[in-house]
Structure formats: structure tokens, C-alpha cells
Amino acid sequence: MAVSAIGRASGGTGGRPPGRLLRLARPLLNALVTLAVIIGLWWAFVAAFNLDPLIAKTPADVWSYLIHGANAGSGAQSVWGGLGRTLFDAVLGFVGGLFAAVVVALSFVLSRLVAGMLLPLAVLVRSVPLVAMTPVLTLVFGRGILATTVISGIVVFFPALVTMTFGLRSASRQSADLVRAYGGGTLAVARKVMLPSALPALFASARIAVPGAVIGAMLAEWLATGQGMGYGMLQDANSFNYVDIWASVALLTGVSVLLYNVIAIAESAVLARFSLRGAA
């Protein structure tokens, strides 16, 4: 009894905080390593091809422009302001596209009739380039928040739909039969079996959707709303403000890596809560 008590004390309560800290530290370490590799490749690319300093900017140039330099305050104000707008647009598209993907994937799995009707339409819409669809979407939804959400959400929707459909269909049939044996209906099976089993697929979709949402938001800003970093980079290209372009790309890359790993932290916590560490 004493041995078992010691084991519980060492492996039970004593083992949890290090495990939680490890789940938090690993994504943060991954983010730091990823950013270090990107900066190293960026510097090596500029040096290896001996690019014109007027066009190609190094990480040191961007740092001086954004954080610590003579023109860091005035020059970088437009970049920071555009970043806030682009992130707001990306979050709306991310949430809307991911939610729509979950709903449509669930309807595909629960009803073959719905899948037969909507799947060809989804394939047709996906085959059309989004750049070609954007003018039509702008005419339908206007040039405001709704158009940005739709355009960014479309980028998120289709990869998430495929992943979520696969995740929902991988649910245990034995568990679903058990729920039905106890009188549960289709919605009960979806809520108690399919959705918990699809949590790894949901978080995988969310991680994949982060850069897609940012790209979709910038596309909408470039072609529809005329705001945010997407439109700002278009103006920078026309005015030959190359340092502003490089700074915008660097900020968006860093934020995308950070958000990706924030979702990874949430994934570790949720899957641990549902005892799905192996499925992660």
C-alpha cells in the first residue's frame, strides 16, 4: 500500500504540471525554431543571389524599419495599422469558414442525399480560381466586412471540409451502435461519438486554415475592400516602397507561425482532456 501510495504521489499529481508545461513549451519552441529557420533562409537567399539592396531587404533592414530605427515610428505606422485590419478580416473568415466546414461535413456524413446534392456543387466552386470569383462575390456581397468574410472563408472552407469529413467518418461504429442501442438518435450519435472522434481532424483543419485565412483576407482587401495589408502592399508596389512590402510579409509570416502554434497548444490541452493524446 505504501508503494502504491508513493507511486500515485509521484506519477499522479506530481506528474501533471511537468506534462502541462511540456505541452505548452513544445509549440513555443517549435515557433522559435521555425522563425529562426525562416530568418536564416531569408538572409541566405538575399546573400546568395546578390540581390539589389534597393529591392531586396534583409531581416536587419526590416527590424530597423519596424522596431529600432530612425524611421521606425512614422514609416512603420501604416504596416502596424494594416496588420490589425488584416488580422480582424482573417479571424472572421477563419471562424466562418471553419464553422461552415464542420456543418457541411456533418451533413455529408449523416445524409447521403445531402452529400450527393452538395458535393458536386462544392467541387465545381472549388475548381474556379478565387481570383476570378472575387469580382462576382464583390458584386453580390458588396465591399464591406461580409465580402471579406466570404472570400477569406472560402479559402478556409474546402481544405477543412475534406479533413472534417474524413475525421467524422473515422468514428467508431461500435460506439455509434452502443448509443443507438440505448435509444440515441442520429443527433445523439453525432454529438456523443462523431464530433469527439473528429477533434483531431478539427484542430488539424484549424492549423491548416490559419495561413489560408490570412491569404484570403489579403486577397479580399486587394480586390474588394481597399483596406488592410493587402491593399497597402499593392500601393507599396506602385510607389516602389519595397521595405514596407518586406516588412508586411515578415509580420504576416511571424503572426501566422504564432497563431499556428497557439492552436497547437489548444489542441494539446483539449485532446489531453478527452484522452486523445494518441490521436493527435
Q: Which DSSP string corresponds to the chain? A: -HHHHHHHIIIIITTHHHHHHHHHHHHHHHHHHHHHHHHHHHHHHHHHTT--TTT---HHHHHHHHTSSTTHHHHTHHHHHHHHHHHHHHHHHHHHHHHHHHHHHHHHHH-HHHHHHHHHHHHHHHHS-HHHHHHHHHHHH-SSHHHHHHHHHHHHHHHHHHHHHHHHHTS-HHHHHHHHHTT--HHHHIIIIIHHHTHHHHHHHHHHHHHHHHHHHHHHIIIII--HHHHHHHHHHHHT-HHHHHHHHHHHHHHHHHHHHHHHHHHHHHHHHTT-TTT-
CB 167 within 8 A of CB 114: no
CB 260 within 8 A of CB 252: no
CA end-to-end distance (rounded Å), the chain:
35
For residue 8, being part of any structural domain is answered with no
For residue 12, being part of any structural domain is answered with no
- Average pLDDT of the segment spanning 250-271: 89
For residue 158, being part of any structural domain is answered with yes
For residue 7, being part of any structural domain is answered with no
Query: Is residue 91 very low, low, confident or very high in pLDDT (cuts 50, 70, 90)?
Result: very high
Query: Is residue 9 very low, low, confident or very high in pLDDT (cuts 50, 70, 90)?
Result: very low
Residue 223 pLDDT greater than 90, yes or no:
no
How far, in Å, are 21, 44, 50, 160 from residue 16 at the CA level? 9, 42, 51, 32
Residue 14 pLDDT greater than 70, yes or no:
no
Query: Is residue 78 very low, low, confident or very high in pLDDT (cuts 50, 70, 90)?
Result: confident
| Block residue for cell numbers 461504429 | 173
Which residue range forms the structural domain that includes residue 37?
A: 20-45+57-66+73-273
Report yes or no on whether pTM surpasses 0.85.
Answer: no
Q: Note the pLDDT of residue 17.
A: 52
Residue 158 is placed in which grid cell? 474546402
For residue 4, being part of any structural domain is answered with no
What domain count does the chain have?
Answer: 1
Residue 239 pLDDT greater than 70, yes or no:
yes
Residue 68, by phi and psi: left (phi above 0), alpha (psi -120 to 50) or beta? beta
- Average pLDDT of the segment spanning 76-102: 90
Q: Note the pLDDT of residue 280.
A: 42
CATH number of the domain to which 265 belongs: 1.10.3720.10
- Average pLDDT of the segment spanning 135-139: 88
For residue 13, being part of any structural domain is answered with no
For residue 280, being part of any structural domain is answered with no
Return d(Cα 222, Cα 224) in angstroms, integer. 6
